[in-house]
Structure formats: structure tokens, C-alpha cells
Chains A and B, each alone.
Chain A
Amino acid sequence: MILLAGVGYPDLSDLSFGPKLAERLRDMPWPPEVQIENLSYGPIAVLHWFEDHPGRFERAIFFGAVERGREPGTLATYGWISGSPAPEDVQASVSEAVTGIISLENLLIIAHHFGVLPPETSVVELEPVEPGWGMELSPLGEERVEEAAEWIRRQVYSRGGPTGNGRHEEVRNR
């Protein structure tokens, strides 16, 4: 099975890229081995969800908005790093997770630490253009949803691998 999972808060314009992209992907035709999820409900709960489905997924593509100071609108994809995060980072992520923070990066760090990430895990990140309140993405964010959806579709159908061990491949920027 291939997991396509969005992560992010709702109604925060481009910061809601993950849930919005998950909605968009649900409107597209997919082979039966694809499962689309909105995993925006807390990394520890997501960890428990993975533990309920041991070995279910061979591949996963996670997507969400992450503010890293890049050019707004940058869409980046990368294969999730194979090295273990520092214990301090994991503990900080767990502390944030159990106190209510929804974060793509925390989710990946925690899921990795507890060994529940599928063997092939890729990430699609959007550097948000509009990080304010709002039920809609910015125009550029909307474009990136379509581009990301197309990239994910290609990945699923071509079985293309991730771009490699933390190295960013910028699909598109402004």
C-alpha cells in the first residue's frame, strides 16, 4: 500500500496546504493500493494509528506547509532522512506533540524514532506565501497544490523513488 498523507492546521491559508492537498488528491482517480489520509490530528495519535497497521504501507508521501525561510511559494520534495534524529530532538517533538502541536516535522521525527514510517518515505513541503487566517490558499498556493498533486501522481504511477536522503529538490519556485 502507498500512503498519501497531509498534515497541517485548517483555515490558515497556505499553512493548510497539507489538508487541502489531501482533499485535492481525493478528487483524483487512484489505484486501489493508494490510501489518502489527513493525519492532522496529533503526532502521538498518528503514531498509534501506524502501530495499528504494522507493515501496511510500503511507501508514503507526506505533505504540508513548513516555514523554513525559503522563497515563498517554493515547493520542495525530499526523501525522509534515514539517520536517527537526536534524542533531544525527539523528546522535544514528543513534548510538543502531547501538548497539542500539529506539525509535519514533529510527526516525521516521532514516527521515525518509533520505527513506524514506511521503508520509502518522501515529503512534499510548501513554503507558504500567505500564512494568515483564511479558508483558501493564496493563488500561488493553489498552483502549487496542482503541481504537487501531479508530482505525487507521477510518483505513484511511475514508482519513482524519493530524491535521496535529505537532499532537497526544488520542484518549482517563484
Chain B
Amino acid sequence: MCFKNLPVEFDAEGRPYLREDVSDPYGMERSPETNGERVQTLSRDQVEDLLERNGHIRQQNYDPVTRVAGALAFHTVVDLEERKVIESRSVATLFRGYEVIMMGRDPRDALYITSRACGVCGGVHSTCSALAIEMALGVKPPPLGIVLRNMLLALEYLYDNPLHLFLLAGPDYSESMVRKTNPEVWSRAEQTGAPHANIHGYATIGELMKDMNPLTGSLYLEAMHMTRVAREAYVLIGGKYPHPQTVVPGGVSATVSISTFNEIYLRIQQFFDYAKRVAAIYDDICDFFYDVDPRYKDVGRTQMNLIDCGQWDDPEAYDATYENCNEWGERRWSTPGVIVNGEQVTTKLQNINLGLEEFVDHSFYEGWDGRRFETDPAGAPLSPFHPWNKETKPRPQATNWREKYTWSTSPRWDRMSMDAECTARIWNTALAQKLTENPYIEPTGHSIKLLLPEGKMPEMELEWHVPDVWNAFERNRGRAYCVAYTALVALNVWRQGMEYMKSGQTATSTRFEIPRGGPHVGVGFWGAGRGFLSHHLVLEDGVVTNYQIITPSTTNASPRDPWGTPGKYEEAVLNTPVLESTTGENYQGIDVLRAIRSFDPCMPCTTHIHTDGGVITREVNTCACGADE
């Protein structure tokens, strides 16, 4: 069964339909079945009572959360005696507003405008926007155009994932941090041999941690260098980074040659050895912490609910139609899918789309009435809370933990909170076993085998296993393996591109016209370095009349939903034990920060939002502790 909470079932041919015996199919009365462990939360009244009566229960606010992209604040209430978090609230402190900016515009503007949603991975938005427009307009790119944007996506991931692993999250596991927060762990690290020393070259965990030190550690500096390698390859096609100039609906406007491919290969091959070392490093870091204290498995722990659209289209399968999205989706270089409580419940893009809803009960927006689209283009039922039906109505107001406290919304799938994270990419692919046969990547149903070619290091097979617990450490480990996975997708894509070049199929884009009339609807199913990404679009008379973006961080940073279920950052922090051994003024809150940073938060940063008060160009300290209780 795909859906447990939405009253959507499937006929004998597998076509979804709405059950007729449910009077208010999308009503809010029934509390959704979360199908598994549910995090325990206290009511605001209970929390206030505890705060009043107990000196050891304190509010702890992180505002801003540093070493994340953009403006994120986090409010917690911590029981320092029990050493656990009893309340958490994730606060996106800036209004993104792209949905409002897009209204009434020519759809071709969308690629350039929505790219600015992120200063790290703007290109993923450009391409996702192109996909939505292609679907709305019925434009199929030529094979090489699809190959080139696949390559662009792989290169963005090769930029993004090492950056997070060593410049943003990495310092949390460095000698300078661990020595400060857990001196006893540091002492142990100095004396613990590194199991993968033969791969990464560090004899002890302590030596490895030293090289993760910010600014001075060679792993930190190497990651900074690798961002350059990926960026250099990216601009050969995209023209510039992070906002490409050549991504267009219908393909890519760049002209490429065999030389371009050779230049790209020179760069992606540098990631083969790098990926071997990155996976070995994070294997050793994760396993070391588990050995030191098994309670580290609870840091950032959440239910195993993950969602991903898949990405990297098969040029022979992708036709840009919604009607065929299940077929071309499953032919991608990573398989779309939803995992609920560890079980994969679908790999079909249509089902992913039907299950999407976005709630604003605890967000600085007004709700909306109406349900413009009762069905998707294939006739399957759509919720009134589905992105194609959503309206963005910002309503700034004071923060109130009981009511509205964030600019993020609450995207849900089948009314469940989902982890939109890059490991979902390899996890779904591993379970589905639908990947096209290729020399490098082999999903086994419980793992993914990755055969990295010889570089300076010998050929090496890595194997990422579906974890038995889903926590901060496994997110980082998964991301580390994603570097290898992405490098091998890039290699497969590169070989495909060379074949098209050799056979003379060198067209990179398809012409199109913007139609009048409508409505024309489209959706871009894609991914960002961090995970799940979708753009939903409605066009009428040649202009955009609705545009909705769900980014991975919107999903992960979401506030509670109408049924009180926390978003993933909130859930992760609620499950996090306080294992830091320092107290008082030296307390860093490292366990909570590890939990949050493991998601690679990207609150759409460097957004220039015009308010009556001016333009916001950088993140601001909004002091969540000043919330109206």
C-alpha cells in the first residue's frame, strides 16, 4: 500500500483514485498514522510549567545557527539534569518570496530568478524550473542536452557535498571542537587506530580529527580546493557558477566539443581518489563515536522516513510528460522514492506528487481557500494543500511558539514528516534495484556497491549499507558515500555524452514557443545537493499564475504540522541526548548543532527581499529567545 493517510487507492491497472466512502477526504480531523515511533513532545503549557519550577531546565537558543547556509535560528529547552532536549523549534528567519516574485512573469524568467534562491546551488533551481516548463509546454530536449544538464547536476553535487562535509559539518568532528566539548573523547581519539588508515593515510582517529580543524587542517583546505575543481568543470557548460547562463527549457544553450568533454573528464577523475578517502574518513569518524558511546546513535535520530525525486534523466526515456513520469522517473541515475519507517512504499513520481501537501499552520503565512486542480494531468486526485493548489500569502507577525514561528512551511508526504536529504538518493536507489546496468554502480536491495576507477590509488569497491539507525552520523556518512556515487554517475553520464558526440547527435536544445491560453501545468522533479527539490508551475496566457518551490531545507526545517508532528530538525533535536561533557560557560551545545548541521541546512541565503523596511542582503540575528511565549 502506498498511502496510509490520504484516501487514495489504486485500481487494477494501478491508476490512483480517491476513495468514495470518505466524506471529507482531505479534512484535517483525523490524526495521521505516522507508522512507527513517534517522538514525544510536551505541550507549551507543560514546558512553561517545567521552566518555572526547575532551575535545571533552561531555554537555549541558537540564533543564528552558524556554519549553515542562510538564516536559521533554533530554540530549545534543555533539561540539564536529565541531559535531554524537551522542546525544539526550528525558525527560518527570512522570507524567501520567490513564489510571489514569479507571479505574472514570463516563464523563461523563472530559470534566472529561482536560481537566486540559493547562493550555493542555484543551478539546481534553474534546471528544476526548466523541467517544470518543459512539462507545461511539452518540450523534449535532445539527448545531449539532457546529458549536459545531468553533468551540471553531478558537478554541483561534487561542489556541494565536500563543502558541507569538511567546511560546514566537518569542524564539529575536528580536534579543536572535540577537545573543547569532550576532552575524554579526544583523549580516546588520540589512542585509537583508524581502521581505514591504509586508504586515508591517518594512523589514528586523533590525527584524522586534527586535519579536520578549520582553516589549518589539510582536509578542510583540500575540500576548499575541490570546490574549485568542480566549479571549473561546471563553467565549461554552465558559463558561470552558481547561477548558470546556459540552462534553458529544452536543454542547454551551450555548444560543446570533444575538448569540452576532455576538460570535464580531467576534473571529475580527480574525485575518484578523493571519494575513496572521503568515505573512509567518515566511516572511521562515525564508527569511532559509536564505539566511544553508543548514545551517539541517538544524536539527530529521526524516523526512517525519506523522500527523493531521483535525478539524472535517461536521454532515451525522458519525454518531459507528466503522463509518462513514472516510467522516465524510474530510469533515472538515481531512483525516485519514498521510504516510510525504513520500507520503500513507492518509486513512482506520480505517487510522490500526489502525496505532497504543504501546510502553513505554524508559518508566517495565511491559509488559502479553494482547490483549483482537483486532479493531476493524469486524472488522479490532488489535495487542496497540494503545491499546484497552494497560494503564497505572507503575513509577517510576532513569533509565538504556540502558533506561528517561522517562514518555513510544513511540506508533508501522505501527511508524514519526511527527511529530504541526499542519502535518500542512494537509499532509494539501493532498495529499488531499478538502476540501468552499468560498470560502476550496483544496487543490491540493502546496499549500493560503488566501483571507483584507479587513479593514483588502485581501483576500489566501496559499499554503502542501509543503516540500522538514522541519525546525524549516518547522514554525514551517507553524504560522504554520495561523493563516490555522484562521481560515478558523472562518469556514466560522461561516457553517454561521448557516445552521442561520436554518433553526431550534437544538438543540445529544442526550440519552443510560449503558448497562450491554458492553464498549462508542469512540475520539475529534481534534487539539490542536500536532497529533494520540486518546482510546481501553472501558466496561463503565457505568464506564470502560480509557482511553488519545495526545497530540501523547507522540508527539513519545517515547523510542526496541523497535527503537532515536528519537522525533521525539530525531531532530530528532540531525540538528541546531551553528551557534551563541558558545562556552564564552556557549554557549546555541540550535540544539538551536530544534529541540525547533519541535514546540511540551506536556508535560502543571500536572498534580497524587499520589505517596507528595506532590503535584506545578509542573514540577521532575530533573537528567537524574544518570542512571544
Q: Which of the segments A53-61, A98-106, A143-151 contacts the partner chain?
A: A98-106
Select from chain A the residue with minimum beta-carbon distance to B163: A98
A-B contacts at CB below 8 angstroms, number: 71
Tell whether, in the assembled complex, residue B614 and residue A131 are in contact, meaning their CB atoms are under 8 Å apart: yes
Residues of A within 8 A of B120 (CB): 98-100
Question: Taking the complex as formed, is B66 at the interface, i.e. its CB lies under 8 A from any CB of chain A?
Answer: yes
Select from chain A the residue with minimum beta-carbon distance to B167: A98
A111 → chain B closest CB, angstroms: 13
Residues of B within 8 A of A45 (CB): 228, 231, 241
Chain A positions near chain B (C-beta within 8 angstroms): 9, 12, 15, 41-42, 44-45, 48, 87, 90-92, 94-96, 98-103, 113, 131-133
Instruction: Give the distance in Å from the alpha carbon of A30 to the alpha carbon of B418 in the complex.
Output: 58
* Chain B contact residue count (CB 8 A cutoff): 30
Tell whether, in the assembled complex, residue B618 and residue A133 are in contact, meaning their CB atoms are under 8 Å apart: no
Residues of B within 8 A of A15 (CB): 615, 617
| Chain B 26-70: CB-based contact to A (< 8 A → 1; otherwise 0) | 000000000000000000000000000000000000000011111
Instruction: Give the distance in Å from the alpha carbon of A122 to the alpha carbon of B69 in the complex.
Output: 30
Contacts A12-B608, A131-B614, A133-B610 known; A98 to B168 CB distance under 8 Å?
Answer: yes
Residues of B within 8 A of A94 (CB): 167, 214-215, 224
B115 → chain A closest CB, angstroms: 11
Tell whether, in the assembled complex, residue B68 and residue A99 are in contact, meaning their CB atoms are under 8 Å apart: yes
Residues of B within 8 A of A95 (CB): 66-67, 167-168
| Residue of B68, B231, B617, B618 contacting most chain A CB atoms (<10 Å) | B617
Query: Which of B68, B69, B214, B242 contacts A91 (CB under 8 A)?
Result: B214
Residues of A within 8 A of B168 (CB): 95, 98-99
Residues of B within 8 A of A9 (CB): 606, 608, 617
Residues of A within 8 A of B171 (CB): 91
Residues of A within 8 A of B214 (CB): 87, 91, 94
Tell whether, in the assembled complex, residue A131 and residue B69 are in contact, meaning their CB atoms are under 8 Å apart: no
Tell whether, in the assembled complex, residue A101 and residue B606 are in contact, meaning their CB atoms are under 8 Å apart: yes
Question: Taking the complex as formed, is B589 at the interface, i.e. its CB lies under 8 A from any CB of chain A?
Answer: no
Tell whether, in the assembled complex, residue A92 and residue B66 are in contact, meaning their CB atoms are under 8 Å apart: yes
Tell whether, in the assembled complex, residue B68 and residue A132 are in contact, meaning their CB atoms are under 8 Å apart: no
Question: Taking the complex as formed, is B344 at the interface, i.e. its CB lies under 8 A from any CB of chain A?
Answer: no
Residues of A within 8 A of B618 (CB): 96, 101, 103
Select from chain A the residue with minimum beta-carbon distance to B119: A100
Select from chain A the residue with minimum beta-carbon distance to B615: A132
Query: Which of B68, B215, B227, B602 contacts A44 (CB under 8 A)?
Result: B227
Contacts A132-B614, A132-B615 known; A101 to B605 CB distance under 8 Å?
Answer: yes
Instruction: Give the distance in Å from the alpha carbon of A44 to the alpha carbon of B68 in the complex.
Output: 16
Contacts A44-B227, A91-B214 known; A99 to B615 CB distance under 8 Å?
Answer: no
Question: Taking the complex as formed, is B118 at the interface, i.e. its CB lies under 8 A from any CB of chain A?
Answer: yes
Residues of A within 8 A of B224 (CB): 44, 94, 98
| Chain B 108-135: CB-based contact to A (< 8 A → 1; otherwise 0) | 0000000000111000000000000000
Tell whether, in the assembled complex, residue B606 and residue A102 are in contact, meaning their CB atoms are under 8 Å apart: yes
Contacts A98-B227, A100-B242 known; A132 to B610 CB distance under 8 Å?
Answer: yes
